[in-house]
Amino acid sequence: MEINTLSLIALPWLSVVVAAGLAMIFRKQWRRTSAAVAEKKHAEQLLEESELRFRILTRATNEAVWDWDIATDSVWWNRNVQTLSGYGEEEIGSTSDWRVQNVHPDDRKRVEDSLHARVRSEKEDFWSAEYRFRRADGTYADIFDRGYILRDHDGRALRMIGSMLDMTKRKREMELARARDAALESARLKSQFLANMSHEIRTPMNSIIGMTDILLHLELTPEQREFVEIVRMSGESLLTIINDILDFSKIEAGKLTFEMLDFEPRTTVEEVITMLADQTHAKKLQLSSVIAPEVPGLVRGDPGRLRQVLTNLASNAIKFTSQGEIKLSVTRTSENDTHIILRFEVADTGIGVPEAARACLFQPFSQVDPSTTRKYGGTGLGLAICKQLVNLMRGEIGCDSVPNRGSTFWFTAQFEKLNSAASLIEIVPKITAESANLPAQQLSTRARKRLRILVAEDNAFNQKVVLRQVREMGFGADAVANGIEALEALRRIPYDLVLMDCQMPEMDGYACAAEIRRQEDNQRHVPIIAMTAHVMKEDRDKCLAAGMDDFLSKPVRVVHLEGVLTQWLTGSTTATAGATTNLVATSLEDPRRDRSTAPSVDLEIFMEVAGNDKPRLRDLADRYVRQTSEQLVKLRDAIATGAAPDIKRIAHSAAGSSAMCGMKPLVELLRELERMGQTGQLADTPRVYSQITEEFAKIECFLRDHVQTEAKPQGIRERYYEEYSNR
């Protein structure tokens, strides 16, 4: 009875406990179910967001994106695929067949094999390939395709997402870059080739010309001499053609270099006149020059390139002119504070150029008429080279012509201006009379013929002058244009002496002399004589330190040149580096000298400068009188205005040309006036100028009597006034 009562009392509480337990279990289960549902919904939401991001990304990118369901072989493409391929959405479809069909047949098997091999692999998740893909218009695009493979837990490929990148433009750019690099390498090789060709071709040609020159100094029959002359002339013509081709190639390769030097335009023009005097004399033509008063005495630029253009134009004028004259003129076109533009003209009375032919006149390898090539010769490169050089001098070139009446070839060039102080050239040290007359054993004519001299000089005009001087002394001589060619020439021919210019391209005289001494290795010693316009003591010391034996200052006088050559070639001087003639920096004046008894003109020097040729002697006298007259008029004006820098500059220039021609008393007076301009002490300049005009009048009379110059006999002051007023 007690038990039943306890049971009745405990039963309700047990029910409560069971119910509470069941409630807790249900609650936990409900929470789990709710969490699972929430997690599933969250996962679905994340997936939707991921898919949305993927779709947005595929629209934002410029690449053609694809999504391949491998199990169903269905492919989704973004719109950029249509842009890339040119196909419409309905043509593309939703399977992989479209892509496979449009891969280039030559690339298809390779691409498909690599793709399926990567899908079957359980480790590799990335795939890429390059192939050609056919667009809707039938052209092929260069495609870079790559994709990422999604796999299940067992490594089976489920899905692959990738993109197609059109590489056509980039590949073309890469090809252009490779082509550019190849072109640069080709230009480098071409430049190297030209450097080798410049002496590999010219050196043997110089040897040919040199050997024919040796033959001409031997005793030959008239017929043999004629044959050798033909070989020599043909060799020189071929050398000119080779130089034209090499110059043109250097311009095309952008390897032509320009120097920036202070020089006198008037002197450059006069050098061209002198260099071509023989040609015009042979054709009985008149050759003259006119320099406008406003052309400055000194400018900065490249006188060698200017001379090259003028020589080419003047040579053409001589070639195509059978009678009449050739005139070179220089005028000022414009100027500013720093630069000046000069206009150069070469006028002739030749065959002229038809108007229709002028358009191609300055093009490479062009001739006005093919018949002119046969009649007059030439490569057709000369004017093309002139045009390129003028362009590099920031100028223009052209031609005005009337057929059968003549042509005027003109060009402009820009140069830097120089102020009066910067434009003055240092007084050139001279070899003293004592050093010029050093006792030396005289060489017989036969002995001179056997001796060979090598002239290393890059300036064509200087080459001709020195070669003419040396050959007229009876020596055999050849010329090269730089140190590399000099070394090659010495390997071919055992020259007895080298006249070495110090400033040359590719290899200068200093480096060349040092290399010659290194190669000699205390064996046979070849005398090397420096030729340079730099004549200060430190320059002389630099020449000796490089291994040179002696020193000549430019312009090289024949008497000094012959004295030095005779001294070194007779062996009267110990042939060891460092032995030199006594070069002393002196001016021409001597205070102990009585000017009243000094001759006005050293006719021997004057004739030497003219090459001892009567027609050239007369022409030189006329040009000297005309040029000096103009300078004295400018001097008078500078003295009147008290312009000390102009007095110094003009007097220095006039003294230089007068010294070259042997007008020693006049040079002394001009040097005195130059010093006054330098110090600014101008009180006594009118008196000195009066003495200068009197001395110049004596010179004019002397030249008229001894050289038969065509100068007018009127008084010097009257002629100054007349010439000045006519301007």
Residue spans of the domains in the chain: they are 58-166, 257-417, 433-569, 595-726
pLDDT at site 424: 34
Q: Per-residue pLDDT tens for 596-651?
A: 434 577 777 677 666 666 666 776 777 778 878 888 888 888 888 888 888 887 88
User: What does the pLDDT average to over 110-128?
Assistant: 86
In three-state secondary structure terms, 263 is: strand
**Residue 409 neighbours by CB distance under 10 Å:** 26
pLDDT > 60? residue 371: no
Look up residue 19 and give its amino acid.
Answer: A
Tokens 């008037």: give the residue: 266
Best mean pLDDT range from 4-13, 415-424, 452-461: 452-461
User: What does the pLDDT average to over 220-234?
Assistant: 81
**Residue 634 neighbours by CB distance under 10 Å:** 20
CATH code for the domain defined by 595-726: 1.20.120
C-alpha to C-alpha distance for 419 and 534, rounded to whole angstroms: 21
In three-state secondary structure terms, 424 is: coil
Beta strands at 261-263 and 157-166: parallel, antiparallel or unpaired: unpaired
pLDDT > 60? residue 432: no
pLDDT at site 346: 93
pLDDT at site 333: 93
Q: Is the preceding omega at residue 105 within 30 degrees of 0, hence cis?
A: no
Which residues, in sequence order, are CB contacts of 506 under 8 Å at separation 6+? 195, 198, 482, 483, 484
The residue that leads in pLDDT, 295 or 16, is: 295
Beta strands at 452-456 and 476-480: parallel, antiparallel or unpaired: parallel
Q: Per-residue pLDDT tens for 652-679?
A: 767 766 766 778 788 788 888 888 888 8
- Under DSSP, the state recorded for 356 is G
C-alpha to C-alpha distance for 29 and 430, rounded to whole angstroms: 122
Would you mind telling me the total number of residues written for the chain in this entry?
A: 727
Local confidence band at 499 (pLDDT 50, 70, 90 cut-offs):
very high
pLDDT > 60? residue 363: yes
Q: Which two tokens stand for residue 608?
A: 């030497």
Tokens 């005097």: give the residue: 277
In three-state secondary structure terms, 176 is: helix
pLDDT > 90? residue 236: no
C-alpha to C-alpha distance for 719 and 57, rounded to whole angstroms: 94
User: What does the pLDDT average to over 468-495?
Assistant: 85
Average per-residue pLDDT for the chain: 75
pLDDT > 90? residue 344: yes
Local confidence band at 431 (pLDDT 50, 70, 90 cut-offs):
very low
Local confidence band at 590 (pLDDT 50, 70, 90 cut-offs):
very low
C-alpha to C-alpha distance for 195 and 250, rounded to whole angstroms: 9
pLDDT at site 614: 66
Fold of 58-166: Beta-Lactamase (3.30.450)
Q: In what order do the strands lie in the sheet with 476-480?
A: 476-480, 452-456, 497-501, 528-532, 550-553
C-alpha to C-alpha distance for 131 and 113, rounded to whole angstroms: 13
C-alpha to C-alpha distance for 292 and 287, rounded to whole angstroms: 17
Closest CA to 195 of 454, 419, 418, 507: 507
Assess contact for 447 and 539: CB atoms under 8 A.
Answer: no
Alpha-helical regions (H) of 61-167? 80-85, 89-92, 97-102, 105-120
User: Helix/strand/coil (H, E, C) string of 346-411?
Assistant: EEECCCCCCHHHHHHCCCCCCCCCHHHHHHHCCCCCHHHHHHHHHHHCCCCEEEEEECCCEEEEEE
C-alpha to C-alpha distance for 723 and 459, rounded to whole angstroms: 35
Assess contact for 669 and 675: CB atoms under 8 A.
Answer: no
pLDDT at site 434: 34
Question: Which segment of 48-62, 93-107, 121-135 scores lowest on mean pLDDT?
Answer: 48-62
pLDDT > 60? residue 98: yes
Local confidence band at 109 (pLDDT 50, 70, 90 cut-offs):
very high
The residue that leads in pLDDT, 522 or 525, is: 525
pLDDT at site 488: 86
Q: Write the DSSP assignment of 16-37 as a string of letters.
A: HHHHHHHHHHHHHHHHHHHHHH
pLDDT at site 95: 84
Q: Which two tokens stand for residue 89?
A: 């959405």
pLDDT > 70? residue 693: yes
Phi, then psi, of 381 in degrees rounded to 5: -100, -20
pLDDT > 90? residue 332: yes
> Rounded to 5, what percent of the chain is helix, strand, coil?
55, 15, 30
40 CB-contact burial (10 Å; exposed 0-12 / middle 13-18 / buried 19+): exposed
Local confidence band at 131 (pLDDT 50, 70, 90 cut-offs):
very high
Local confidence band at 498 (pLDDT 50, 70, 90 cut-offs):
very high
Look up residue 295 and give its amino acid.
Answer: V
Assess contact for 514 and 507: CB atoms under 8 A.
Answer: no
Q: How many helices and strands, by DSSP H and E, does the chain display? A: 26, 17
pLDDT at site 529: 93
pLDDT at site 535: 47
- Which helix or strand (DSSP H or E) is residue 452 part of? strand 452-456
Phi, then psi, of 406 in degrees rounded to 5: 135, 170
C-alpha to C-alpha distance for 618 and 463, rounded to whole angstroms: 24
pLDDT > 60? residue 720: no
Assess contact for 124 and 115: CB atoms under 8 A.
Answer: no
Closest CA to 111 of 101, 122, 124: 101
User: What does the pLDDT average to over 516-536?
Assistant: 78
Closest CA to 261 of 420, 396, 423, 392: 423
Beta strands at 528-532 and 550-553: parallel, antiparallel or unpaired: parallel
pLDDT > 70? residue 507: yes
CA angle 508, 260, 516 (to 5 degrees): 5
Local confidence band at 704 (pLDDT 50, 70, 90 cut-offs):
confident
C-alpha to C-alpha distance for 530 and 512, rounded to whole angstroms: 11
Query: E strands, 349-405, where?
Result: 397-402
Assess contact for 408 and 344: CB atoms under 8 A.
Answer: no
pLDDT at site 55: 61
pLDDT at site 43: 59
Question: Which segment of 19-33, 217-231, 241-255, 435-449 scores lowest on mean pLDDT?
Answer: 435-449
Local confidence band at 538 (pLDDT 50, 70, 90 cut-offs):
low
Give strand pairing partners of 396.
none
**Residue 586 neighbours by CB distance under 10 Å:** 13
In three-state secondary structure terms, 494 is: coil
pLDDT at site 183: 78
pLDDT at site 343: 95
User: What does the pLDDT average to over 304-319?
Assistant: 87
Q: Write the DSSP assignment of 603-651 as a string of letters.
A: HHHHHHHTTT-HHHHHHHHHHHHHHHHHHHHHHHHHHHHT-HHHHHHHH
pLDDT at site 481: 83
User: What does the pLDDT average to over 441-446?
Assistant: 68
Give strand pairing partners of 67.
76, 161
C-alpha to C-alpha distance for 646 and 637, rounded to whole angstroms: 9
Fold of 433-569: Rossmann fold (3.40.50)
Phi, then psi, of 402 in degrees rounded to 5: -125, 115
CATH code for the domain defined by 257-417: 3.30.565.10
C-alpha to C-alpha distance for 406 and 346, rounded to whole angstroms: 11
